């Protein structure tokens, strides 16, 4: 199990590195699609079918939007020369990464090993969702009953994003 | 333990791209890569060996379910990720129409 | 697009739409729910638009409809949540309907209603974003 996941994650890392270094923006977008679709397989292996369904549809729609934008503008990647600003950026990135690695090492020591998660907080959810809400799918039960505020916030963000896109992309006013 | 480290490396790749790339499209791609690494990390934490998907059925006796809470959180986060990506793409295509380039340094120089 | 693409899209779209409705309605029994089903419904519409060219005037009418249905859906979610204040235990997002028996289609109280409303909201929002991009493209080319 852990080996399969590691291979998939390695595949995702290779796709991500290629996406950042591709000379053609269209191939960069498609390489980002590799990462997203590998994520679907990871979700299926980790016993999360709800997430797999959502992710495969959402990734397809994201890819359609990105390809439409890239084909509409330009496919050329900028020719990047190494100058002073670029060196400053790279060193800043390395410093940030080292700081994050330090905190990651601290955090990983407190985590349980993979596959031995303790249901400390979720035991109430797992035990009572079915009897209290009558929902057979525990994820839906948690999402719409115990964690209703999160769902409301999510719907609000989606609404705001749609309004924002409409506002940004409007050239002619509505009569 | 190795899977956590690989997730973190994926996050670092996204962060590196976010800071060093100059193309707006690549910056958006880096952001979504960082998002994906966080999703997979959260779901990995909730996994239990021998657990089954969190759907109640009377046929299974004495089941062990994987943790449904991270899955519910990630479910909302995925849709929010799509919304933010679409919004960033709209901003990028609008900037391209105004300035004729995706280079953030050029756009900064053209201001004013 | 060519005739083959149009015909295949015509044949498939109905099934995709039906599958999305199935995913939403069975959200509390099987994997899926409002988010997944709504994204699938939006995918069916997007397939139709990609296959059958784009007539700007027609698309603008569609955009008005999708943004209106999005606003109405989120308003109804909010009203259903507020109704929890007045019925039952005076709690926001209270599940005030009878829960029924686990595993039946009509069960789980208010959760199926939330599923349907969130599904409509997600589908309409994604469709609005896509339509805005397409209309923008058309307006540039004019």
CATH code, domain with B53: 1.10.287.3510
Query: By mean pLDDT, which of A23-27, B97-101, C92-96 is the weakest?
Result: C92-96
Q: Are B25 and A29 in contact (CB under 8 A)?
A: yes
| CA gap A72, B82 in Å, rounded | 20
Sign of CA dihedral B51, B54, B59, B61: positive
For C69-102, the pLDDT digits (tens) are 888 888 888 888 777 777 766 666 666 666 777 7
Q: Which of B3, B76, B90 sits opposite A6 (nearest CB)?
A: B3
Whether C35 sits inside 8 A of B75 (CB atoms) is yes
| CA gap B92, B89 in Å, rounded | 5
Domain count, chain B: 1
Quick one: closest CA in B to A18, which residue?
A: B13
Whether B44 sits inside 8 A of A46 (CB atoms) is yes
Task: Kindly report the nearest CA distance between residue B65 and chain C, in angstroms.
Answer: 14
A74–B contact, CB cutoff 8 A: yes
C140–B contact, CB cutoff 8 A: yes
- Which chains form contacts with chain A, at 3 or more CB pairs under 8 Å? B, C
Whether C35 sits inside 8 A of B76 (CB atoms) is yes
For A81-129, the pLDDT digits (tens) are 778 888 888 898 899 889 999 998 888 888 777 777 776 777 777 777 7
Both tokens assigned to C40: 């699938």
What mean pLDDT, rounded, does chain C reach? Answer: 81
C129–B contact, CB cutoff 8 A: yes
Q: Which residues of C99-125 are buried (b: 16+ CB within 10 A; e: fewer)?
A: beebbeeebbbbbbebbbbbbbbbbbb
| CA gap A100, A95 in Å, rounded | 9
Q: Are C109 and C96 in contact (CB under 8 A)?
A: yes
Q: Which of B26, B47, B89 sits opposite A46 (nearest CB)?
A: B47
Domain range for B48: 2-110
| CA gap C74, A32 in Å, rounded | 32
Question: Residue A98's pLDDT is what?
Answer: 92
| CA gap A31, A25 in Å, rounded | 10
Question: Residue B24's pLDDT is what?
Answer: 87
Q: Which residues of B25-43 are buried (b: 16+ CB within 10 A; e: fewer)?
A: bbbbbbbbbbbbbbbbbbb
């Amino acid at each position: 199990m852990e080996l399969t996941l590691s291979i998939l994650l390695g595949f995702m890392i290779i796709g991500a590195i290629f996406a950042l270094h591709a000379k053609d923006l269209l191939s960069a977008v498609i390489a980002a699609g590799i990462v997203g679709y590998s994520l679907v397989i990871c979700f299926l292996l980790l016993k999360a079918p709800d997430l797999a369904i959502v992710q495969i549809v959402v990734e397809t729609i994201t890819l359609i939007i990105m390809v439409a934008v890239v084909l509409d503008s330009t496919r050329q990647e900028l020719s990047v020369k190494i100058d002073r600003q670029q060196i400053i950026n790279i060193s800043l990135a390395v410093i940030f990464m080292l700081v994050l690695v330090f905190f990651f090492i601290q955090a990983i020591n407190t985590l349980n090993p993979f596959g031995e998660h303790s249901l400390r907080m979720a035991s109430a959810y797992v035990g009572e969702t079915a009897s209290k809400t009558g929902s057979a799918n525990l994820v839906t039960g948690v999402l719409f009953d115990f964690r209703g505020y999160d769902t409301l916030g999510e719907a609000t963000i989606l609404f705001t994003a749609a309004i924002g896109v409409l506002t940004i992309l409007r050239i002619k006013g509505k009569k | 333990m190795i899977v956590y480290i690989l997730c973190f490396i994926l996050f670092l790749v996204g962060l590196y791209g976010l800071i060093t790339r100059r193309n707006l499209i690549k910056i958006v791609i880096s952001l979504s890569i960082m998002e994906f690494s966080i999703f997979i990390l959260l779901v990995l934490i909730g996994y239990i060996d021998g657990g089954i998907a969190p759907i109640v059925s009377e046929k299974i006796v004495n089941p062990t379910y994987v943790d449904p809470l991270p899955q519910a959180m990630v479910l909302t986060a995925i849709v929010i990720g799509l919304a933010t990506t679409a919004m960033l793409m709209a901003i990028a295509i609008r900037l391209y129409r105004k300035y004729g380039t995706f280079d953030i340094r050029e756009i900064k120089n053209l201001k004013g | 697009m060519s005739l083959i693409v149009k015909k295949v899209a015509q044949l498939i779209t109905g099934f995709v739409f039906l599958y999305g409705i199935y995913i939403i309605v069975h959200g509390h029994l099987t994997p899926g729910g409002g988010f997944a089903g709504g994204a699938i419904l939006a995918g069916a519409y997007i397939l139709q638009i990609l296959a059958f060219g784009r007539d700007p005037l027609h698309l603008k009418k569609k955009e008005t409809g999708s943004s209106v249905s999005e606003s109405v859906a989120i308003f109804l979610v909010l009203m259903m949540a507020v109704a929890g204040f007045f019925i039952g235990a005076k709690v926001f997002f209270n599940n005030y309907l009878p829960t029924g028996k686990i595993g039946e289609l009509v069960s789980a109280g208010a959760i199926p209603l939330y599923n349907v409303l969130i599904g409509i909201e997600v589908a309409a929002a994604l469709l609005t974003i896509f339509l805005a991009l397409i209309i923008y493209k058309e307006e540039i080319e004019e």
